[in-house]
Amino acid sequence: IAAEKNGYDHFMLKEIHEQPAALRETLRGNIKDQVADLAHFNIDDIFADVKKIYIVACGTAYHAGLVGRWAIEKLARIPVETEIASEFRYRDVLWHPQSLMIVISQSGETADTMAVLREAKRNGIRVLAVTNVVGSAVSREADRVIYTHAGPEIAVASTKAYSTQLLIMYLLALHLARVRGTMPLNELKELTGELARIDGLAEKVFEQQNRIKEMAARHKDVQNTFFLGRGFDYAVAMEGALKLKEISYIHAEAYAAGELKHGPLALIYEGVPVLALITQDHLVEKTMSNIREVKARGAIVIAICKANLQESCQECDEQIILPDVNPILAPIVGVIPLQIFAYYMAIFRGADVDKPRNLAKSVTVE
């Protein structure tokens, strides 16, 4: 087993570092003539008259689905509803007659996700699966399948599966935007060009690894943490908080920054770390005003911010700088520091990183 870790201490760290390569693998063959082209997955017929999309998943895959919602709505202008499978399956869904379902599942075996897939099919709704495992239950029963090429993911906490799921969400949004003509071709090509280089941007984040490790060493004894963001940053905050709680057992709460005043502000006390995602240029000032509120109550604010926004977030106590990237695509790079942070927090607390207590890689029973 040790050999499979390729010199890394844990599968999780190895898989975090495999992300640029996994992104490259997942990009391969999906961009042609500078535009995203997923026609080879045979999906154009099932999307032809679609007026509504449901995205359903569990855990980390659900967080990828949240990014998918924002990307598809923004670029391809199709209304999307993203929901947790265990909730969706017991809801009295008002199925839109011209709808399509996307299920996202690394393993392709999650019981709740499978149940929703079957329920959709019973209702005559076509299902597109996004999965990492060829031949999985989800891939067998869905009408169409798009594979992430993350390679085997061993650590219970998902990392490279998530970033490649995000990549598929963007490719799909760009593909649909092109087919539907919802974006000017030059803008489409520009964003696609940036997505085609996202593996290199992801690679650059590792330059900050030591800094993040030191940060984790400073904060390892905390009991509570908060993750804030708006828009795409909120989705990443949710994933960052999940990583931290899964493997370090520290209480981590993600909140939409604008919702702070409606509750969590009451929980802020002297010295509590607040990790703030700052990648959405048009929302920086809004998020900064929320940050001032937590700082005024003694929180230590760690900003994960894009290089071009560094100046705006100088008031933050600590900074992790992300390479400049289009805000729409920022989640792919923004999540990496949070994965590394969670990893080292768990290490410094002596937790079993690859096999966290009480959790399983794949939840095949309800």
Catalytic positions are 361
**Distance between CA atoms of residues 4 and 312, nearest Å:** 43
Shortest separation between residue 234's beta carbon and ligand G6P, angstroms: 18
- Among residues 65 and 231, whose Cβ is nearest to ligand G6P? 65
Shortest separation between residue 60's beta carbon and ligand G6P, angstroms: 3
Shortest separation between residue 138's beta carbon and ligand G6P, angstroms: 8
Shortest separation between residue 108's beta carbon and ligand G6P, angstroms: 7
- Among residues 203 and 354, whose Cβ is nearest to ligand G6P? 354
Query: Token digits for 187?
Result: 């803008």
- Among residues 161 and 301, whose Cβ is nearest to ligand G6P? 161
- Among residues 50 and 111, whose Cβ is nearest to ligand G6P? 111
- By CB under 6 A, name the binding residues for ligand G6P: 58-61, 105-107, 110, 113, 156-158, 359, 361-363
Shortest separation between residue 137's beta carbon and ligand G6P, angstroms: 10
- Among residues 156 and 256, whose Cβ is nearest to ligand G6P? 156
Indicate the residue whose CB is closest to ligand G6P.
59
